[in-house]
Structure 1
């Protein structure tokens, strides 16, 4: 009788473990990179520039219908401005990809790992995670909205935290109207 109870208990433990593992895998939602969009906007004393950057890959983790995590990789080589054209666009794109800014030859990707997602409304989350740019990782927090199979977020990123120094008043004095502000905006529209 004692052996029978132990066998039943072991069977239940294995069954529940398998069920828990299976549901965790089923809750991983891959991002459709080709249907997703990331736009950026950077500011300077005399104006601003904006453009796009491509998502390379990513996924969200859900527990039922509740967001619990995720991970995203961005293709830094795709960084391009959309407010300029011709040689002006080519010059800005080249400069942004150079070591003065994002150094894409040595750092071709950037990464965001969601560590925590706390619901703060029906379809809204306060997300905290780690953002890696140019090999440097810093914590970041932002709001994320999830509706059906779409998610949107707006992030402010402080480039000084990633040692992106060019034209930064945080690193150089007396830049005057050549100053480029440290914070830039990212607007992310994801489909999964």
Structure 2
């Protein structure tokens, strides 16, 4: 694992030297959904809500979590009408490494806490400490539910959809997504992306990050 971390550091220098072009998304950003007057509001429990992530590259992969700090979901007649939650980007945690074995270094890199000129290639949490996800619609077709919304990271908003299950038990509401992927470069997280930079050979990190969202909220 130490070799993986060291190779990531080396790639930073390489990736800054030969840029192709910024990634673009042609999908339109929709207006956030609004709750009806008689909807019930469920407040997100930050201690029980998080986003699991997996990042991959030819030499291996890493996984971890990001915490949610606040949010709410509106429920009417058993259906989620709207919702928004705040993502604490400074809570990015690596779970597959131990302290002293590259864990702190990788967490720092992901947060963009290294050299100032490198920060924009990561999540730059000093400048952008929070992200948000705001629901635009929730659709259920053939018993399969899809949550559509706007994900904002680093001040950039892009549409994201994911399959999810939504369960209500009294005053408790749980939204659990299936695993889905986003292209990190759409939010300007360009570090070691071979779609953005040339001459990386096998020293690249995959553009797609796998995510799984779990939100627990109470009325």
What is the TM-score with the length of structure 1 in the denominator? 0.83
Q: 1:105 aligns with which of 119, 126, 129?
A: 126
Match of 2:189 in 1: 164
Matched, 1:150 2:171: no
Which structure's residues are more often strand, by fraction? 1
For the aligned residue pairs, the C-alpha RMSD in angstroms reads: 1.4
Match of 1:93 in 2: 107
1:91 is paired with a residue whose SS is: helix
2:146 is paired with a residue whose SS is: strand
Q: 1:118 aligns with which of 114, 135, 139?
A: 139
Match of 2:56 in 1: 43
Provide the C-alpha distance between the structure 2 equivalents of 1:71 and 1:135, rounded to a whole number of angstroms.
16
User: Cα offset for 1:121?
Assistant: 4.5
Match of 2:22 in 1: none
Task: Show structure 1 runs of 4+ deviating over 2 A.
Answer: none
Q: How many residues align?
A: 169
1:1-192 map, 5 Å: 21=37, 23-24=38-39, 27-87=40-100, 88-98=102-112, 99=119, 100-122=121-143, 124-148=144-168, 149-153=173-177, 154-192=179-217
What is the TM-score with the length of structure 2 in the denominator? 0.73
User: Cα offset for 1:37?
Assistant: 2.8
Larger radius of gyration: 1
Name the structure, 1 or 2, with higher relative contact order (CA <8 Å, separation 6+).
2
Structure 1 residue runs without a partner (length 5+): 1-19
User: Cα offset for 1:174?
Assistant: 2.2
Provide the C-alpha distance between the structure 2 equivalents of 1:45 and 1:85, rounded to a whole number of angstroms.
21
Aligned in 2, Cα 1:29/1:121: closer, same or farther, shift over 3 Å?
farther
Provide the C-alpha distance between the structure 1 equivalents of 2:92 and 2:135, rounded to a whole number of angstroms.
22
Q: Could you list the per-position Cα deviations for residues 99-151 of structure 1 after superposition, in whole angstroms to 9, with x for gaps in the alignment?
A: 131000000011101001111254x4212111001110011111111122222
Which structure's residues are more often helix, by fraction? 1
